[in-house]
């Protein structure tokens, strides 16, 4: 700022480019349960390697995901065969106190 109070130059702060994770990405889908010590039960684990999705967990829940898919921000239904698009939509579809998905760091 100069003496007259005008900004002469503003460079701002450039955000860092997001770093693409190497290796598999994993999302845990949890449901609340008053019985377990943490109050949570891992219902399913979804792993993304490249553009391939794999699951581990409750068989009925996973079959439902395979059959019904999930909805993206754009309102499009996606399925595990859609790879990253499906993986990214999981946390959007499961984000309530009873059932939510969170990516492991």
Q: State residue 18's pLDDT score.
A: 47
Interval 29-37 mean pLDDT: 82
pLDDT at 63 over 70: yes
pLDDT at 25 over 60: yes
Interval 84-95 mean pLDDT: 93
Interval 37-51 mean pLDDT: 89
pLDDT at 61 over 70: yes
Give the integer Cα–Cα distance in Å for 30 and 28.
6
pLDDT at 90 over 60: yes
pLDDT at 102 over 70: yes
Residues with Cβ within 8 Å of 57's Cβ and at least 6 positions away in sequence, in order, are 29, 42, 43, 44, 45
Per cent of the chain over pLDDT 70 is: 78
Most distant CA pair in the chain: distance in Å?
69
Interval 52-81 mean pLDDT: 96
């Amino acid at each position: 700022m100069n003496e007259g109070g005008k900004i002469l130059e503003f460079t701002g702060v450039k955000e860092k480019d997001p770093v693409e994770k190497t290796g598999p990405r994993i999302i845990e889908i949890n449901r609340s349960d008053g019985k377990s010590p943490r109050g949570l039960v891992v219902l399913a684990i979804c792993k993304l390697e490249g553009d391939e999705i794999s699951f581990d967990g409750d068989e009925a829940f996973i079959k439902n995901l395979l059959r019904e898919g999930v909805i993206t921000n754009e309102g499009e239904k996606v399925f595990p065969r859609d790879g990253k698009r499906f993986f990214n939509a999981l946390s959007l579809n499961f984000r309530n106190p009873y059932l939510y998905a969170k990516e492991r760091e």
